[in-house]
Amino acid sequence: MSQSSNIQELLNNPNTTLDEILQVESVGYLFNQSHPALIQFFVIHAEDLLKAAINSPNPAIQKNAFNIVHSDNSIILEAILHKKCISNQAEEYFFNDDSSILVITRLVNIIEMCICDYFDEACTQFYFITELVRFLDNPSVNEFFYDSLHHPAYGIHFIQWLNDLEFDQRLMDTFEDQFCKDNQNPEKLLGLYQTLDMCLHFPQILTKFLVPSRLSLLSQPCQENMPTYVKNAYVKLIFNMCNEYTIPFIASHIRYFLNLISEKIDDINQLYVTSFQILFQIYRISPDQCIEYSVMNLMDCGIRILTEFQNHSIALTVAAQFLTKVARYNLELRNEVLMRFIPIVEYNLENNDNINMRAFITKMMLDLETDVDWTGYDKSEFLHIYSYHILPLKGIMDEEYGGEVPDPAPLLI
């Protein structure tokens, strides 16, 4: 008996159940071949089909049901939306913190497909979407928000929809709840940081967070015992938040970031570099506040990068920019930078073949020559190095790169 006739026989029997159909090995193939009676059967049983796709105790039935619902055949999705089946399932699982990761993942994947294909209708039904903040420890939920926010067709409408649903308040409530706990959940905190970071890239959402109470909470460091990957997510969020309005809130935790760059490490890492970038932003936007604490610690960090971590382009870029900017701030700091920097220049230009490092040194020397106030400074040593090493390199750059320093080597962090 052929596969088609076998399933047709089941379909002809009015007592055949959905589970019996879904247990037929070839059901997925026949569905994809647009078997008319089979499609009609699934349309009639759309709600039970969705339930099976999300949480059938039988793995074979669950897999077949999910593949049918999550297929390119829009008829099934249309039936599910028409019968408002997803709302019932969402109310059962999205409002329950104990729902399994697999169930949430399957339901989110189906919801994303509905939003992609039937955005307007999905918006009228999926009022529950903000409850997904309960499950931000599930990577699939984070991926859903990322894909939806950045979708070329409906991304801007998705942002407006989240604003209409006051998603920002739901995020902040969940964030505050985490910080009230003695034992923060690392995975949930990671998901919150990542989701906040992706949301704050969009001005329509960012403006909702630019209020003192929210900025005070968001800038608060996570607990010291959090894993490094959580701290990485935190400093990334903070760095992306840095601007003239947020810096006073971020700067209130300057000692936390100073401690992160003061730790002894054998190799540079994301946490170290991003923390240094945050401190540089504090200095750039509010230098007096940074100097009040310890600009010398930052200078130590910048010098250490130039001497010990010469293959890390982003770290070198930040260190070079910081040291150059500090040298412009006042004559005392200028003297301190030059006292530390000149020996590094001499050694590396005479003994180091690292092209990346030589490029950064050349760029720094050119910037110092043109941008620093040299009042009261004996410039002879600087000019000797500049004439002997930098001008010939500048000539090569003028000829080969139009006066620009070549792109740094790839980041090796």
The 10s digit of each residue's pLDDT in 264-303 is: 777 788 999 999 999 999 988 988 776 666 788 889 999 9
Per-residue pLDDT band for 60 (boundaries 50, 70, 90) equals: very high
Residue 299 inside a domain? The answer is: no
Residue 264 inside a domain? The answer is: no
Residue 288 inside a domain? The answer is: no
- Confirm if 107 and 93 have CB atoms less than 8 A apart: yes
Higher pLDDT, 398 or 298: 298
Pick the closest to residue 385 from 341, 335, 353, 355 (CA basis).
341
CA gap 52, 398 in Å, rounded: 68
Residue 292 inside a domain? The answer is: no
Residue 1 inside a domain? The answer is: yes
Residue whose tokens read 């000829």:
399
Mean pLDDT in residue range 123-150: 95
The string of pLDDT tens digits covering residues 320-340 is: 999 999 999 889 999 999 999
Q: Into how many domains does the chain fold?
A: 1
Residue whose tokens read 């249309």:
78
Q: Which two tokens stand for residue 342?
A: 């000149």
Query: Can you give the pLDDT at residue 191?
Result: 96
**Could you say which DSSP state residue 197 is in?**
H
Residue 60 inside a domain? The answer is: yes
The answer to which of 19-28, 94-103, 147-156, 395-404 has the lowest mean pLDDT is: 395-404
pTM above 0.85, yes or no: yes
Per-residue pLDDT band for 45 (boundaries 50, 70, 90) equals: very high
Q: Supply the range of the domain harboring residue 93.
A: 1-116
Q: What separation in angstroms does the CA of 72 have from each of 26, 89, 145, 189, 244?
A: 17, 21, 22, 35, 48
Residue 112 inside a domain? The answer is: yes
Residue 29 inside a domain? The answer is: yes
H helical segments located in 200-294: 203-206, 212-218, 228-241, 247-251, 254-262, 270-285, 287-293
Return the amino acid letter for 358.
Answer: R
